[in-house]
Chains A and B, each alone.
Chain A
Amino acid sequence: MEKGVNMRSMWPLLTGSLLCAASVFGAPPAKVALEGGRIIPVVGDDISKGTVLIEHGKITAVGKHVEVPYDAMVVDVSGKVIFPGMIDTHSARGMDIRNENLPVTPFLDVYDALDPSRLYFEDALRDGITSIHAIVANNCVIGSLSRVIHPIGLTPDEMTLQAPVALKLSVAPKRRSDRMVQMATLRETFLELADYLENLAETKYEESLEKEDKKIDVGPEEARKRGKPLIKFEDYDDAHRNLIKLTRGELGAFIYCGIAGDVGRAVKLAKDNGFFGRSTLVLGDACFKAVSEIKEAGRPVVLDPDLLYRERDPITGDIKETFIPKVFADAGVAFSLLPYPNNSLAERYLNYQAARCVRNGVDRKTALESITINPAKALGVGDRIGSIEVGKVANLVVFSGDPLDFESWVDMVYINGIRAYERKDDVRLKQLFGDEPAEVTEGEAPEDEKKKGAEADDKPADDADGKGEAPAETPSDKANETGTDG
């Protein structure tokens, strides 16, 4: 099996080139100008042969005629397309497991599960995804705190763009549960929260009296009333702190709906508990049937990566196909698309998902928005990422052609103004294309390298320093790969 060795041969290069971005993370080149490409800002019209100027990680100028400061590094991208970094609005793939077994876990944070060494992040860069909403999957009742991250960085802290973003909730049943139990658990959680607050208020009031050495002088109701203003935020315990923030509207909520009937329950749950205004609906594929209800709710929606819904008529046996984004587009509901978690298929590309929309009658603008600005808005960072506008974070993808053309490749990715990926240095891609010499010992060296080799006949001895300490066997990529999918 050539893979193992190739991986071994590859990973130094990979780490050197793909991921060196992280190394300059602290000190990005101050100014970069991408010059001569077609700019698709998503917000606003396309600019042909335009320039994007990045200063200190932010976009400072966009246009046809941009004055480039003398000290800016100019990158010629003529013939290419500059596109906002795409956003994976809902992904559990950078973590070890997608969901905890515990049903209600608002005290947890994906921070503790993120694994920056996941191949998923490397793939995300290769696919032009610059921001990822790291959030637990749908198999939960109330999940953990989520955050928006970049696919580069050595630690979750380095990767984070925004945290916390939202709590994950699901009105569709957790595995081995049912809807009645699910809803009951959700209700109980919030009832218990109210109960907890009252008890806490009473306790606080009692404590305040104790301090002054007084005896309790009022009934419990009054005590709670008086105790309420005494509670400080630090008094809340782990189990309730985030729920309180949620109910106060200080946290977003990503609510998963499995079937159309869940939408109404999700809306009611959010309204009843005061977080409707900050909720986003994560929709299962059959939820499009509740499109009017969703439109009425007016909240951002995230669609299932499986964009095509098929059902069989029980009488005629005919299969009816519905292209889900078209339903939402026709209804005028803004939506975000997700990449398909299966790495082998084209649907892993967000831009391909958008192209599928166009193929099925969604207009181009809507399709492009659904992978850039719509997700940014849903995540509450619409003012920072999601389009190419002055003042936004310089998260950019340079495509070799139109993003909706399947033959386009991601040539470069900029995150925070740092060049985080460059296709010509993508060793894994080279290996998959058979471009990289499989094994030095077998293949004949490429011409130019042969020459180099000949020159290097008298290798200085100090080179030997490195060779004794070759990296130990790296775990095969397969284990990791299946891990990301699982």
Chain B
Amino acid sequence: MNNPHNSHRLALRVAAIATLFVVAPQTSAETIVIKSAQVHTGTGAVVQDGMVVITDGSITAVGANLSVPAGATVIDVQGGSVTPGLIDANAAIEASDLMITPKRTASSVLHDVFCVKHSDKPIAGCCGSMCSRALQHVDGEDCRECGFPNTAPNLAVGVRRHGSLAEQSSEVIPHTRVIDSVNLRSPDFERLLSGGVTTVFVSADPAAVLTSQGAIVRTGGPMADRIVREADAVKAVMGSDPFLRGPRNTRPFRQYVDFHARRPTTRMGVTWVFRKALYDTQRHGQGLPVGGADTPSVPAMKTLSKMLTGEVPLRIQARMQRDILSALRLAKEFDLRFVLEEGTEAHRCTDELRAADVPVIYGPMYITPAGYRNSTELDGARLHTMRALVDAGIETALTANDLRDEDGLARQAMYALRHGVPLDAVMRSITQTPAKLLRVDDRVGTLEPGKQADVVVWSDGPFEATSKPLVVLINGRIVLDKRTG
């Protein structure tokens, strides 16, 4: 395979430290040694002709010139590279309530043969109306039943505005948990795994102002060990998603007041609902009465009070500059720490983000920004956003969100590289940084002694168009092996 290395790779190669960590390799019955031309530790450093020694599910040594312990299983991919298991800190996993599982009817066999390929893509969900033709969407054509436009398999978040898995009965639902609608058996996880992603934060659907608590899950390994944290950060949403996604909020305008006639129907309303929820939570915490329009439910306030004390972390999804600034204003008003999600226009307010010391989980990005397609919130997308964030010294993780086809997060890394982010920064943005932002950096995110052995072995350099994960280990266990295929 012909692979010229770009200048920054060469620089890394030169700067690579011969041995990063020398810990005496312990021999054990369960020792695995991974040899590789390049070991990327996730901190940005690279060990040439390095080796990763894994004992009992944990990394015991990383470095060059280590001796192979006796009896160890050796994984040696000539010319390949090794990275930590990738971490997607904002993964939108299969919207289960919209999940189109082919119903096993009398004609199900035929149905499977002709339709199942499409159903495995998120396209059925983007129709959202669950129309009877949902399974028969053909790429590039409008839905023949409901007319939903061209359902290409990879739609940007925000484009898919009709579907929602969020609870519709309220705008403040932080007491709900995303894990309850995550299907751990979803093929999404297989796909994430085959793209080298080992840990994900499953993010809530942005259809409510204060929406559900996300979950941190592993993408492979025994089912019983999959869930790392059942209820993690609460997600707040700025912008138009809370009232446009899912069955959209309506005004009682010349029609009966129905279930969806509620605030917000505007950006003004979004911030108000946020403020009102936190204000009521504060009062509730002091034993004072709460009431009036937009009062959250008691279980919601229980969770929000934990959020106010910092016990439950907060993430805010904001795409446009004005929404990011709204988030910063609200955080200031209530003295909240938060992580910014998506940040499509973050390049337009790097100063403000840096001043507020807000980390960003940026993405997904495209070759041509999605702004050239039909979503208003993504109009401001630019190719240099990630670079601008990195250059501004803002802690940035990269996410593929709902893009899982073939090489999801690795592809995001490819895009970042192509658009001028240095390899070490890209590497950190999908390993070390998301681990830190998810507070799982004590276990995963880097290849260092003592860490859990989540390792990806690539057929070539990581994030190259000609390279793919050959072996993936989670907790020192091989969960994916494509060496023979």
Contacting residue for B117 out of A309, A409, A433, CB 8 A: A309
A344:B117 contact, CB within 8 angstroms: no
A290 to B258, CA, bound (A): 54
Q: Report A41 CB to chain B, min CB distance, Å.
A: 15
A407:B418 contact, CB within 8 angstroms: yes
Q: Report A458 CB to chain B, min CB distance, Å.
A: 36
A308 to B3, CA, bound (A): 24
- Proximity bits, B357-388, A CB within 8 Å = 1, else 0: 00000000011111111100001101110001
Residue B347 CB within 8 A of the other chain: yes
Q: CB-CB < 8 A to A345: which residues of B?
A: 154, 366-367
Residue A486 CB within 8 A of the other chain: yes
Residue B311 CB within 8 A of the other chain: no
A432:B150 contact, CB within 8 angstroms: no
A407:B382 contact, CB within 8 angstroms: no
A359:B382 contact, CB within 8 angstroms: no
Residue A229 CB within 8 A of the other chain: no
B372:A481 contact, CB within 8 angstroms: yes
Residue A148 CB within 8 A of the other chain: no
A344:B366 contact, CB within 8 angstroms: yes
**10 sampled A-B residue pairs with Cβ under 8 A:** A306-B153, A308-B405, A312-B120, A342-B152, A342-B154, A344-B366, A402-B2, A405-B465, A434-B382, A434-B383
B2:A344 contact, CB within 8 angstroms: no
A346:B414 contact, CB within 8 angstroms: yes
- Proximity bits, B98-125, A CB within 8 Å = 1, else 0: 0000100000110011001100100000
A346:B372 contact, CB within 8 angstroms: no
A481 to B190, CA, bound (A): 34
Contacting residue for A406 out of B2, B117, B190, B465, CB 8 A: B465
Contacting residue for B465 out of A175, A404, A409, A478, CB 8 A: A404
Residue B255 CB within 8 A of the other chain: no
A401:B112 contact, CB within 8 angstroms: no
Q: CB-CB < 8 A to B190: which residues of A?
A: 319
Residue A462 CB within 8 A of the other chain: no
B347:A434 contact, CB within 8 angstroms: yes
Given A344-B372, A433-B383, A433-B419: A402 touches B112 (CB 8 Å cut-off):
no
Q: Report A370 CB to chain B, min CB distance, Å.
A: 14
Q: Report B256 CB to chain A, min CB distance, Å.
A: 35
Binding site for A on B (CB under 8 A): 1-4, 6, 102, 108-109, 112-113, 116-117, 120, 139-141, 144, 150, 152-154, 156, 187, 190, 347, 366-374, 379-380, 382-384, 388, 405-406, 411, 414-415, 417-420, 459-460, 463-468
Closest 6 CB pairs of A and B: A355-B465, A344-B366, A406-B465, A358-B466, A312-B116, A432-B383
B367:A319 contact, CB within 8 angstroms: no
- Proximity bits, A330-367, B CB within 8 Å = 1, else 0: 00000000000111111011001001101110001000
Q: Who on chain B is nearest to A486 by CB?
A: B150
Contacting residue for B372 out of A175, A358, A360, A478, CB 8 A: A478
Contacting residue for A477 out of B120, B372, B374, CB 8 A: B372
B371:A406 contact, CB within 8 angstroms: no
Q: Who on chain B is nearest to A46 by CB?
A: B2
B112:A314 contact, CB within 8 angstroms: yes
Q: CB-CB < 8 A to B468: which residues of A?
A: 359-360
Q: Report A338 CB to chain B, min CB distance, Å.
A: 12
Q: CB-CB < 8 A to B153: which residues of A?
A: 306
Q: Report B12 CB to chain A, min CB distance, Å.
A: 14
Q: CB-CB < 8 A to B414: which residues of A?
A: 346, 406
Q: Who on chain A is nearest to B414 by CB?
A: A406
Q: Who on chain B is nearest to A481 by CB?
A: B372
Q: Report A479 CB to chain B, min CB distance, Å.
A: 10
Q: CB-CB < 8 A to B102: which residues of A?
A: 312
Contacting residue for A401 out of B4, B140, B367, B384, CB 8 A: B4
Q: CB-CB < 8 A to A454: which residues of B?
A: none
B4:A405 contact, CB within 8 angstroms: yes
A402:B140 contact, CB within 8 angstroms: no
A309 to B382, CA, bound (A): 31
Q: Who on chain B is nearest to A1 by CB?
A: B379
A478:B374 contact, CB within 8 angstroms: yes
A364 to B109, CA, bound (A): 38
A334 to B318, CA, bound (A): 48
Q: Report B179 CB to chain A, min CB distance, Å.
A: 22
A308 to B139, CA, bound (A): 14
CB interface residues, A 298-325, toward B, < 8 Å = 306, 308-312, 314, 319
A3 to B379, CA, bound (A): 7
A212 to B273, CA, bound (A): 95
A308 to B121, CA, bound (A): 12
Given A344-B156, A344-B367, A406-B465: A314 touches B4 (CB 8 Å cut-off):
no
Q: Report A349 CB to chain B, min CB distance, Å.
A: 8
Q: CB-CB < 8 A to B372: which residues of A?
A: 343-344, 477-478, 481
CB interface residues, A 74-124, toward B, < 8 Å = 123
Contacting residue for B6 out of A306, A401, A404, A433, CB 8 A: A401
Q: Report A325 CB to chain B, min CB distance, Å.
A: 13
Q: Who on chain B is nearest to A353 by CB?
A: B465
Q: Report A138 CB to chain B, min CB distance, Å.
A: 10
Q: CB-CB < 8 A to B369: which residues of A?
A: 344, 432
A311:B117 contact, CB within 8 angstroms: yes
A341:B467 contact, CB within 8 angstroms: no
Give the interface centre of B187, B366, B367, B370 by most chain A CB atoms within 10 Å: B367
Given A306-B139, A401-B6, A404-B465: A364 touches B1 (CB 8 Å cut-off):
yes
A312:B112 contact, CB within 8 angstroms: yes
Q: Who on chain B is nearest to A435 by CB?
A: B384
Known: A308-B405, A312-B102, A432-B369. 16 other contacts (CB 8 A): A1-B379, A1-B380, A285-B117, A312-B112, A314-B108, A343-B372, A344-B370, A346-B411, A348-B367, A355-B465, A355-B466, A359-B460, A402-B2, A404-B3, A405-B4, A409-B418
Residue A457 CB within 8 A of the other chain: no
Q: Who on chain B is nearest to A406 by CB?
A: B465
Q: CB-CB < 8 A to A404: which residues of B?
A: 2-3, 465-466
Residue A455 CB within 8 A of the other chain: no
